[in-house]
Amino acid sequence: MTINIAAVDYDGLIPNNVALGDDPRVKRALEKWHPGYIDWWNDMGPEGFQASLVYLRTAISVDPKGWAKFDYVRMPEYRWGVLLAPQHTDRKIPFGRHKGEPAWQEVPGEYRAMLRRLIVIQGDTEPASVEQQRHLGKTAPSLYDMRNLFQVNVEEGRHLWAMVYLLQKYFGTDGREEAEALLQRRSGHPDTPRMLGAFNEKTPDWLSFFMFTYFTDRDGKMQLEALAQSGFDPLSRTCRFMLTEEAHHMFVGETGVTRVIQRTCEAMKAAGITDPYDIAAVRKLGVIDLPTIQKKANLHFSLTLDLFGNEISTNAANAFHAGLKGRYREDRLKDDHQLEHDTYPVLRLIDGKIQSEDVSALSALNMRLRDDYVVDANVGVGRWNKVIEEFGIPFQIKLPHVAFHRHIGEFSGIHADVNGTLLSEAEWTQKRNDYLPSDGDKDFIESLMQPQFETGQFASWIAPPKVGIDNKPGDFEYVKIADA
């Protein structure tokens, strides 16, 4: 049973379905925060395209059948709203020590700090990726891709709004301070960086962007899925709606990489090149060789694994026990949802070897979410390989071992190759460029990043999409670029 479906107030400054009009305190707080947000967007959002008209979807409802509308918008005028999925009446806390109690509509006092921390960490990732991607418009391989980039960007902005609403509504003065701080930190800044490592890395080129949206936005999906299970109902509802937007981000990543692979394979076939490792010959065709695509996948996959935190974590155990953050699809799992007496196998470094060890299921929750992530991430990789296979090219993209190139957790102190074989410092230094993009690889990719802004045209290194956004034809003008 749901109440409150699709009652979106679209007239005020902040579109919302949380009855902001009846909540003057929170309305005022958000309206005060708004100018700082716009300043941030103008400073740190897509560089050079703020005056252009972009064919964007905007969330106007939370009805799954018709939640978005498409139209030309200048990004600074995008309607960033606060939208929560419909409330289920008598929803119960689905896991942890409070399992079966009514879901909280207010913040439980004893968990206030823990809950605020979870919301701030999630919130911090949203503006971070906008900052990381702000230079990419200038080298877009097509107007279609440029539009997709900007769509992802404005929606990450809306996700920031979603988290800031929770902070302003439920956390008083400290919530307000956290909301301000979310606008102050900057991706990659030496003094005020974003909170998590992968969100301080550069996204220097479009292959990185596609890998980022495939691998790193998928971490976002897993975190949102886990928070969508939360006993704190407003957080659950917020995350459920964010997931509908998130799906498009991963679509952009998966199809982006598919199209790069497709183009490479087509060019190889046309030129009669059968050896995927004949890198020099492939690069002469103006496409990205498959081994370099593999290296990019290795990089972004390993950076993203770090986002799941330590394999063994008391914080994760506490958040689950308290009923704040569940497992992936907790509501579909068949067990006692309390895990007090269960164990879970974790890959650890024991006596200098990578070995599986059964540890308490509660402390292994990060690991479990990461395992679910790897399964999910492998699905699209399988589809990439299908494309390569159709061209009869003997090559497969493979996700590297979880011990490869790690900076957090069990394997942060060692070096391993993509198969999980331990390497000495010297071996790692010698082989690193076999696994991760070298300076030469980066220079080559950069050389391909020439803008293609002709309607319906695509850069040499990427195939057109199968279908347009909102069923638009191939020559549709997704972005009307304004003269700067």
Q: Which of 159, 169, 186, 295 binds Fe ion (CB under 5 A)?
A: 159
Distance CA 250, CA 303 (A): 17
User: Among residues 126 and 225, whose Cβ is nearest to Fe ion?
Assistant: 126
- To Fe ion, the closest distance from the beta carbon of 126 in angstroms equals 5
Report how many residues bind Fe ion under the rule CB under 5 A.
7
Binding to Fe ion (CB under 5 A) within 101-130 occurs at 126
- To Fe ion, the closest distance from the beta carbon of 362 in angstroms equals 27
- To Fe ion, the closest distance from the beta carbon of 223 in angstroms equals 9
Distance CA 69, CA 58 (A): 5
Residue 315: CB atoms within 10 Å? 16
User: Among residues 27 and 249, whose Cβ is nearest to Fe ion?
Assistant: 249
Stretch that binds Fe ion, among 152-160, 188-196, 369-377, 383-391 (CB under 5 A): 152-160
Long-range contacts at 6-14 (CB < 8 A, ≥ 24 apart): 6/61, 6/62, 6/63, 6/86, 8/60, 8/61, 8/62, 8/81, 8/83, 10/60, 10/79, 10/81, 14/80, 14/81, 14/82, 14/161
User: Among residues 216 and 264, whose Cβ is nearest to Fe ion?
Assistant: 216
Half-sphere exposure of 179 (CA within 13 A, CB side): 27
162: three-class secondary structure by DSSP: helix
- What are the residues whose beta carbons fall under 8 Å from the beta carbon of 16, sequence distance 6 or more? 8, 9, 81, 82, 83, 165
Sign of CA dihedral 193, 194, 200, 205: negative
User: Among residues 223 and 258, whose Cβ is nearest to Fe ion?
Assistant: 223
- To Fe ion, the closest distance from the beta carbon of 220 in angstroms equals 5
473: three-class secondary structure by DSSP: coil
Tokens of 313: 């974590």
- To Fe ion, the closest distance from the beta carbon of 123 in angstroms equals 9
Site string for Fe ion, 206-245 (x = CB under 5 A): -----------x--x-------------------------
User: Among residues 95 and 209, whose Cβ is nearest to Fe ion?
Assistant: 209
User: Among residues 151 and 262, whose Cβ is nearest to Fe ion?
Assistant: 151
User: Among residues 126 and 178, whose Cβ is nearest to Fe ion?
Assistant: 126
- To Fe ion, the closest distance from the beta carbon of 246 in angstroms equals 5
- To Fe ion, the closest distance from the beta carbon of 85 in angstroms equals 15
- To Fe ion, the closest distance from the beta carbon of 186 in angstroms equals 17
User: Among residues 118 and 287, whose Cβ is nearest to Fe ion?
Assistant: 118
User: Among residues 5 and 243, whose Cβ is nearest to Fe ion?
Assistant: 243
Stretch that binds Fe ion, among 149-157, 230-238, 290-298, 407-415 (CB under 5 A): 149-157
Residue 8: CB atoms within 10 Å? 19
- Asked whether the beta carbons of 87 and 2 are under 8 A apart, the reply is yes
Distance CA 215, CA 307 (A): 11
Stretch that binds Fe ion, among 99-107, 153-161, 296-304, 390-398 (CB under 5 A): 153-161
Q: Tell me which residue has tokens 């490592």.
A: 197
Strand ranges for 39-161 from DSSP E: 53-59, 68-74, 87-88
Distance CA 272, CA 278 (A): 12
- To Fe ion, the closest distance from the beta carbon of 159 in angstroms equals 4
- To Fe ion, the closest distance from the beta carbon of 156 in angstroms equals 5
- What are the residues whose beta carbons fall under 8 Å from the beta carbon of 347, sequence distance 6 or more? 311, 354, 355, 356, 367, 402, 403, 410
Q: Tell me which residue has tokens 């195939």.
A: 463
User: Among residues 209 and 458, whose Cβ is nearest to Fe ion?
Assistant: 209
Binding to Fe ion (CB under 5 A) within 246-305 occurs at 246, 249
- The contact set with Fe ion (CB under 5 A) reads 126, 156, 159, 217, 220, 246, 249
